[in-house]
């Protein structure tokens, strides 16, 4: 038995030996350390004549990565492989690290925009013309120039009736799409049918919505375009290759690391450095520092945990779960990594969404009664939710958007936000009971449940995510149900899998539903606060707004007020005044809410950083996808170095 154990021990030890990434001996005579202005692998290719020299590959005015954050250690060395984990074939998590090559970017503080592929942008006086100036000499990863032609090609496709894609929402003013002109290779002029001040934000917001869509390599795509290549009769093949940055290694890319191989149907994805990447550090050295990214599909949460504990993952965002915090902390030394506590920036994890247009007419009337909503809010024991579902890691509060949102970025804003966060967030059973009695729900049946005005038992179906999809929210739902039952309301929990919960929310079939709530920017994603789209607490009114009054239910009361504010906000030129409008809307939520009931929020989002991995910020926000973190901290300047000296 002992020998058997020893044998396995040897096997396992052998299996675990990791060859450290050693440099190719050929590269030894290329400058290393901080003297190198480009990766030695690229310098070699230049010498062999396979690649143009660095000056030819960089734009005239390359973007210099900002690094004024806590956690920045200095300019890095070239080389190494970043081992990373992804959870789904669409590489969504990775795109928020290495896929943010937008025309205009969110800054890291999430309180403004900074230049990206476009060096500068300006509006005319009335906001109808936006002019973008691209950096001169930008190139795709195959060396072909990136110009205004590429954007024009994208927009032509949007207008092309034969093609499935429509013009994006941000380019429409009262239903009329913009026109795009390209006076020269590095100027894009967009003309709108009316004032349209939010376009730069839309160009920067959310990778999947912005650069992933409008960055199209025309020179590559026209091979599959029926107008350019008579071989193709329709857009089928074109579709298959269009914005599949994560699926098609052949497609030229602008990413710092471009897709090189996909193995085993997405099991393992390899990305290699882009020799034409347009960002440099402040010494003028080309980024990224790290040569290669290898990201592996690990579907099981426990296995991810184990891989991280073993130090097999160099740096990981979004996947480590906060409930494993103590395990991760315990394993730091052995695994050779540290845990950084970023935040998910949420205002509710979960938030309890009450459907303003609930299908049952009696419940609908009740939900529109502020005292009823208040009673539901006061009945929830948030400390218990926090302790049981989240091990006390979160904070009890009312449902809000993200605390870090730029709408509240001054003294007055912070005071307002603090008030919003506190309103309707205390636990007060007596008050809740009294409120329900006051609105005439004081009769009870044999089982002590309250009787509705129509004589039936007051019973609510609560849609919650299945435990295998979101354990913590499922746990919280049990506590809410217990609290509400104590109030005399029967609660039936309906655990839903996959698309079901989303679908019923979109169609407005839900009465009460749980969902994660986090939003940084209400200008582009208004619908937590403003009833502008058919989802969340306002599916029918949102439908009405979205379809210009042709469908859904017209807004009344506070919802009308919110939509009026939103319409005024959209036309406002001055950004301070726009923030002002958001605050007015929040005031309505405070005075006439709660429309969404808060439970607990602000989950620590764990970031794993191994000891040889450098320049990762100490703090950040990983909940909302709009502001694209960590990409706004320029992950291309993260570097790998073993030992102390540079």
Partner 1 sequence: MTSYVIRRIILGVPTLAAISVISFFIIQLPEGDFLDRKIAQLEQEFGDRSSLERVEALRVRYGLDRPLWNRYINWVAGFARGDFGESFEYEREVKEVIWERLGFTVLISLGSLVLTYMVAIPLGIYSATHQHKWSDNLLTMVSFIGMSIPGFLLALGLMVFAFEAFGVPLCGLFSLEYEGAPWSWGKFEDLLKHLWIPLIVVGINGTAELMRIMRGNLLDVLGQPFINTARAKGVKEWVAITKHAVRIAINPLISHMGMSLPRLFSGAALVSIVLGLPTVGPLLLRSLLNEDIYLSGTILMMYSLLLLIGNLLADIGLACADPRIRYE
Interacting residue ranges for partner 1, rule: CB under 8 A:
9, 11-19, 83, 88-90, 164-169, 172, 206, 208-209, 213, 236, 239-240, 244, 247, 261, 263-268, 270, 294, 296-300, 302-303, 306-307, 309-310, 312, 334, 497-500, 502-503, 506, 525, 527, 532-533, 535, 546-547, 625
Query: Rounded to the nearest whole angstrom, what is the least distance from the CB of residue 75 to partner 1 in the complex?
Result: 27
Q: What are phi and psi of 512, to 5 degrees?
A: -130, 135
Kind and range of the H or E run holding 386:
helix 382-390
Is 358 buried (19+), middle (13-18) or exposed (0-12) by CB count in 10 A? Answer: buried
Q: Is the Cβ of residue 222 or residue 303 nearer to partner 1 in the bound state? A: 303
The torsion of the CA quartet 410, 393, 348, 316, rounded to 10 degrees, works out to 90
B/e letters for 389-406, b = 16+ CB within 10 Å, e = fewer, are bbeebbbbbbbbbbbbbb
Pairing of strands 268-273, 292-297: antiparallel
Query: Rounded to the nearest whole angstrom, what is the least distance from the CB of residue 365 to partner 1 in the complex?
Result: 28
Query: Rounded to the nearest whole angstrom, what is the least distance from the CB of residue 547 to partner 1 in the complex?
Result: 7
Query: Rounded to the nearest whole angstrom, what is the least distance from the CB of residue 355 to partner 1 in the complex?
Result: 17
Query: Rounded to the nearest whole angstrom, what is the least distance from the CB of residue 509 to partner 1 in the complex?
Result: 10
Asked if residue 209 lies in contact with residue 95, where contact means CB atoms within 8 angstroms, the answer is: no
**Listed residue (478, 471, 473) closest to 492, CA to CA:** 478
Q: Is the Cβ of residue 386 or residue 536 nearer to partner 1 in the bound state? A: 536
Q: Is the Cβ of residue 242 or residue 378 nearer to partner 1 in the bound state? A: 242
H-helix segments, 62-119: 92-98
Q: Is the Cβ of residue 228 or residue 502 nearer to partner 1 in the bound state? A: 502
Q: Is the Cβ of residue 406 or residue 530 nearer to partner 1 in the bound state? A: 530
Query: Rounded to the nearest whole angstrom, what is the least distance from the CB of residue 240 to partner 1 in the complex?
Result: 6
Q: Is the Cβ of residue 47 or residue 236 nearer to partner 1 in the bound state? A: 236
**Listed residue (247, 255, 277) closest to 86, CA to CA:** 247
Query: Rounded to the nearest whole angstrom, what is the least distance from the CB of residue 4 to partner 1 in the complex?
Result: 12
Three-class HEC string of 199-239? HHHHHHCCCCCCHHHHCCCHHHHHHHCCCCCCCCCCCHHHH
Query: Rounded to the nearest whole angstrom, what is the least distance from the CB of residue 22 to partner 1 in the complex?
Result: 10
Q: Which two tokens stand for residue 484?
A: 């509400």
- Using CA atoms, how far residue 73 sits from 14, 62, 70, 343, 614, in Å, is 34, 22, 9, 22, 7
Q: Is the Cβ of residue 499 or residue 574 nearer to partner 1 in the bound state? A: 499
Query: Rounded to the nearest whole angstrom, what is the least distance from the CB of residue 16 to partner 1 in the complex?
Result: 3
Query: Rounded to the nearest whole angstrom, what is the least distance from the CB of residue 261 to partner 1 in the complex?
Result: 7
Q: Per DSSP, what are the bridge partners of residue 114?
A: 105
Q: Is the Cβ of residue 300 or residue 411 nearer to partner 1 in the bound state? A: 300
Rounded Cα gap, residues 560 and 565, in angstroms: 9
Q: Is the Cβ of residue 212 or residue 636 nearer to partner 1 in the bound state? A: 212
Bond prior to 286 in cis (omega within 30° of 0): no
- Using CA atoms, how far residue 356 sits from 369, 537, 556, 563, in Å, is 10, 6, 11, 15
Question: What is the DSSP-derived secondary structure letter of residue 619?
Answer: -
Q: Per DSSP, what are the bridge partners of residue 187?
A: 133
Is 497 buried (19+), middle (13-18) or exposed (0-12) by CB count in 10 A? Answer: exposed
Rounded Cα gap, residues 204 and 578, in angstroms: 18
Rounded Cα gap, residues 442 and 446, in angstroms: 13
Q: Is the Cβ of residue 169 or residue 222 nearer to partner 1 in the bound state? A: 169
Q: Is the Cβ of residue 334 or residue 560 nearer to partner 1 in the bound state? A: 334
Query: Rounded to the nearest whole angstrom, what is the least distance from the CB of residue 313 to partner 1 in the complex?
Result: 10
Asked if residue 93 lies in contact with residue 249, where contact means CB atoms within 8 angstroms, the answer is: no
Query: Rounded to the nearest whole angstrom, what is the least distance from the CB of residue 503 to partner 1 in the complex?
Result: 5
Q: Is the Cβ of residue 91 or residue 416 nearer to partner 1 in the bound state? A: 91
Q: Is the Cβ of residue 258 or residue 376 nearer to partner 1 in the bound state? A: 258
- DSSP letters for 520-541: S-TTTSGGGTS--SSSTT-HHH
Query: Rounded to the nearest whole angstrom, what is the least distance from the CB of residue 394 to partner 1 in the complex?
Result: 24
B/e letters for 335-347, b = 16+ CB within 10 Å, e = fewer, are bebbbbebbbbbb
Q: Is the Cβ of residue 62 or residue 168 nearer to partner 1 in the bound state? A: 168
Q: Is the Cβ of residue 158 or residue 486 nearer to partner 1 in the bound state? A: 158
Query: Rounded to the nearest whole angstrom, what is the least distance from the CB of residue 564 to partner 1 in the complex?
Result: 19
H-helix segments, 58-215: 92-98, 148-159, 199-204, 211-214
Query: Rounded to the nearest whole angstrom, what is the least distance from the CB of residue 631 to partner 1 in the complex?
Result: 16
Name the 3-class secondary structure at 198.
Answer: coil
């Amino acid at each position: 038995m002992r020998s058997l154990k020893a044998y396995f021990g040897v096997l396992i030890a052998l299996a675990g030996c990791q060859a450290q990434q050693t440099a190719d001996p050929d590269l030894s005579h290329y400058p290393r350390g901080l003297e190198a202005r480009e990766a030695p692998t690229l310098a070699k290719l230049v010498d062999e004549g396979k690649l143009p020299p660095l000056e030819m590959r960089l734009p005239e005015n390359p973007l210099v990565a900002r690094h004024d954050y806590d956690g920045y250690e200095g300019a890095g060395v070239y080389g190494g492989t970043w081992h990373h984990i992804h959870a789904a074939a669409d590489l969504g998590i990775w795109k928020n690290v290495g896929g943010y090559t937008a025309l205009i970017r969110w800054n890291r503080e999430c309180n403004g925009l900074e230049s990206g592929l476009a060096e500068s942008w300006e509006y005319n006086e009335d906001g109808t013309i936006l002019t973008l100036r691209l950096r001169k000499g930008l190139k795709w990863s195959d060396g072909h120039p990136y110009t205004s032609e590429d954007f024009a090609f994208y927009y032509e496709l949007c207008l092309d009736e034969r093609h499935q894609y429509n013009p994006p929402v941000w380019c429409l003013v009262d239903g009329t799409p913009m026109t795009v002109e390209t006076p020269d290779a590095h100027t894009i002029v967009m003309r709108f049918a009316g004032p349209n001040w939010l376009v730069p934000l839309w160009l920067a917001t959310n990778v999947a919505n912005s650069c992933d869509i409008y960055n199209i390599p025309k020179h590559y795509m026209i091979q599959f375009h029926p107008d350019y290549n008579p071989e193709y009769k329709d857009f089928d093949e074109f579709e298959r290759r269009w914005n599949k940055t994560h699926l098609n290694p052949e497609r030229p890319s602008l990413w710092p690391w471009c897709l090189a191989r996909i193995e085993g149907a997405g099991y393992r994805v390899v990305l290699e450095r882009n020799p034409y990447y347009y960002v440099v550090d402040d010494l003028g050295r080309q980024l990224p520092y790290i040569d290669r990214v290898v990201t592996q599909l690990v579907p099981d949460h426990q296995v991810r945990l184990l891989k991280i504990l073993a130090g097999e993952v160099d740096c990981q965002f979004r996947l480590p779960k906060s409930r494993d915090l103590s395990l991760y902390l315990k394993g730091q030394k052995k695994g050779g990594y540290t845990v950084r506590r970023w935040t998910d920036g949420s205002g509710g994890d979960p938030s309890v969404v009450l459907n303003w247009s609930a299908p049952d007419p009696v419940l609908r009337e009740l939900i529109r009664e502020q005292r009823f909503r208040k009673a539901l809010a006061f009945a929830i024991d948030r400390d218990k939710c926090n302790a049981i579902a989240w091990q006390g890691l979160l904070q009890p509060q009312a449902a809000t958007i993200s605390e870090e949102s730029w709408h509240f970025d001054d003294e007055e804003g912070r005071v307002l936000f603090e008030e919003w966060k506190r309103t309707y967030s205390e636990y007060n059973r007596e008050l809740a009971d009294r409120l329900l009695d006051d609105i005439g729900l004081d009769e009870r049946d044999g089982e002590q449940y309250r009787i509705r005005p129509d004589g039936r038992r007051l019973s609510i179906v609560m849609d919650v995510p299945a435990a295998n999809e979101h354990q913590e929210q499922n746990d919280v739902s049990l506590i809410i149900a217990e609290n509400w039952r104590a109030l005399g309301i029967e609660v039936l929990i309906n655990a839903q899998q996959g698309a079901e919960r989303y679908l019923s929310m979109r169609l407005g079939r839900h009465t009460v539903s749980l969902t994660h709530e986090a939003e940084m920017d209400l200008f582009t994603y208004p619908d937590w606060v403003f009833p502008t789209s058919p989802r969340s607490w306002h599916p029918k009114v949102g439908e009405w707004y979205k379809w210009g009054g042709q469908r859904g239910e017209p807004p009344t009361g506070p919802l009308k007020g919110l939509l009026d504010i939103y319409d005024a906000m959209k036309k406002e030129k001055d950004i301070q005044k726009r923030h002002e409008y958001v605050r007015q809307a929040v005031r309505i939520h405070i005075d006439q809410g709660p429309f969404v009931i808060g439970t607990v929020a602000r989950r620590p989002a764990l970031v794993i950083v191994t000891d040889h991995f450098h320049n990762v910020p100490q703090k950040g926000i990983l909940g909302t996808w709009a502001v694209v973190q960590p990409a706004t901290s320029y992950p291309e300047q993260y570097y790998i170095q073993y030992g102390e000296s540079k």
